[in-house]
């Protein structure tokens, strides 16, 4: 009995301890709690070693070195070397120059152009900015040859003449001119006409193959071509300064009489000039008359008149002026 009592007390004591342990769980170890606190503080700290760039861990996929390199080489961030890149073309209004190619210098990128109609030779520079065409097809400088007929759009680039466009033309088309014969050399066939459209001289050659017609559209000859005559010519531009005339129509020769009928558009009684809008060709002609000869009272601006005049080589001189009813 004495031995039983202490054992019973021991069993009861152990049961109480187990019950207390179940109701009050054991506290976490101090080291674990400290570690959790320190880890939170480290996450909040700006000097934390959590930054991947400061750790030994490999960089993430968004920090690819190749992407960074391509950004550095981007044209917007690196426009290039200003000493090596081609500058923009010069600004300004281009001037058209036509002529024949003289010398070609592929080392200095320039050609020499001999302008049509004479004049000083011109050195024209070109580069990657220049557009070169041969009979309408874009090409390269290798297709520009000495003696070629070219038309160049030129711009001033500092002290140099720069070619914006170079057009080589080998397929020649007939050209037209209409005006008064200024000079004609019957031996060589060289003729110069003051063209009414361009208000300048046009030169070409009259040869055996040239067809000449008179004012009445009958067949003519070179004998009908005289200085001061009014002509209309169709010629083929040549490879030198002169073209070759294909057809020449003689419109008027000095001493020829013409009749004009139409409305008066201008009248100057003091200087003796009347302008008539001719109905047959819808052209306006200035006709001189002797201001001492008094005109009919009913002839004013807007009147219908009929004028008989002689072509003098310098203009038309009225013989008679009459009002049309």
Residues 324, 302: contact at Cβ < 8 Å? no
Report percent pLDDT > 90 for the chain: 37
* Terminal Cα distance for the chain, rounded: 173
pLDDT band of 226, cuts 50, 70, 90: confident
* pLDDT (tens digit per residue) in 9-66: 666 666 666 766 655 554 444 444 444 444 444 444 444 444 444 444 444 444 454 4
- Whole-number Å distance between alpha carbons of 295 and 292: 9
pLDDT band of 104, cuts 50, 70, 90: very high
Residues 307, 274: contact at Cβ < 8 Å? yes
Average pLDDT over residues 154-173: 87
- Long-range pairs, 190-197, Cβ under 8 A, ≥24: 190/242, 191/225, 191/245, 193/231, 193/233
Average pLDDT over residues 287-310: 91
264: Cβ–Cβ under 8 A, 6 or more apart, which residues? 274, 275, 276, 299, 300, 301, 302, 303, 304, 305
Angle at 188 between CA 186 and CA 190, to 5 degrees: 80
Of 63-77, 153-167, 242-256, the range with the lowest mean pLDDT is 63-77
- Whole-number Å distance between alpha carbons of 243 and 209: 13
Query: Three-class SS of residue 285?
Result: strand
Element housing 251 (H / E): strand 243-252
pLDDT of residue 42: 41
Domains of the chain in sequence order: 95-169 (2.40.50.320), 175-252 (2.40.50.320), 257-323 (2.40.50.320)
What are the structure tokens assigned to 190, written together? 């060289």
Average pLDDT over residues 266-282: 92
pLDDT of residue 56: 43
pLDDT of residue 177: 83
Beta strands 175-184 and 200-205 are unpaired
- Whole-number Å distance between alpha carbons of 284 and 55: 96
**Nearest CA among 202, 213, 206 for reference residue 185:** 206
Average pLDDT over residues 82-88: 64
pLDDT of residue 158: 87
The pair phi, psi for residue 54, each rounded to 5°, is: -95, -5
- If you count them, how many residues does the chain have? 325
Burial class (CB in 10 A: 0-12, 13-18, 19+), 27: exposed
pTM higher than the cut 0.95: no
- Whole-number Å distance between alpha carbons of 301 and 186: 45
Mean residue pLDDT of the chain comes to 78
- Whole-number Å distance between alpha carbons of 180 and 29: 121
pLDDT of residue 306: 94
pLDDT of residue 24: 56
* pLDDT (tens digit per residue) in 126-151: 999 999 999 889 999 999 999 998 99
Residue 68 has pLDDT above 50, yes or no: no
Task: Give strand pairing partners of 264.
Answer: 276
**In whole angstroms, how large is the CA radius of gyration of the chain?**
50
What are the structure tokens assigned to 282, written together? 């819808």
């Amino acid at each position: 009995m004495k031995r039983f009592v202490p054992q019973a007390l021991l069993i009861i004591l152990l049961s109480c301890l187990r019950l207390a342990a179940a109701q009050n769980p054991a506290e976490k170890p101090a080291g674990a709690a400290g570690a959790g606190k320190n880890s939170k503080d480290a996450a909040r700290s700006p000097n934390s070693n959590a930054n991947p760039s400061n750790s030994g861990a490999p960089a993430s996929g968004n920090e690819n070195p190749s992407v960074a390199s391509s950004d550095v080489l981007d044209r917007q961030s690196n426009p290039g070397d200003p000493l090596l890149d081609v500058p923009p073309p010069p600004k300004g209004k281009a001037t058209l120059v036509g002529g024949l190619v003289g010398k070609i210098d592929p080392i200095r990128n320039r050609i020499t152009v001999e302008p049509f109609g004479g004049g000083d030779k011109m050195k024209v520079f070109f580069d990657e900015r220049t557009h070169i065409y041969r009979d309408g097809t874009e090409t390269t400088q290798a297709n520009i040859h000495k003696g070629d007929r070219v038309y160049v759009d030129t711009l001033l680039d500092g002290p140099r003449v720069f070619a914006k466009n170079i057009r080589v033309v080998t397929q020649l088309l007939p050209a037209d001119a209409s005006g008064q014969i200024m000079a004609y050399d019957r031996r060589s066939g060289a003729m110069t006409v003051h063209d009414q459209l361009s208000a300048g001289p046009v030169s070409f050659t009259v040869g055996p193959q040239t067809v000449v017609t008179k004012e009445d559209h009958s067949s003519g000859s070179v004998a009908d071509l005289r200085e001061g005559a009014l002509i209309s010519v169709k010629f083929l531009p040549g490879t030198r300064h002169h073209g070759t005339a294909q057809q020449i129509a003689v419109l008027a020769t000095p001493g020829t009489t013409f009749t004009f009928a139409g409305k008066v558009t201008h009248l100057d009684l003091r200087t003796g000039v009347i302008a008539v809008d001719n109905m047959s060709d819808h052209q306006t002609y200035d006709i001189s008359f002797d201001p001492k000869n008094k005109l009919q009272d009913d002839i004013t601006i807007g009147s219908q008149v009929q004028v008989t005049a002689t072509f003098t080589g310098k203009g038309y001189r009225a013989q008679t002026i009459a009002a049309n009813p």
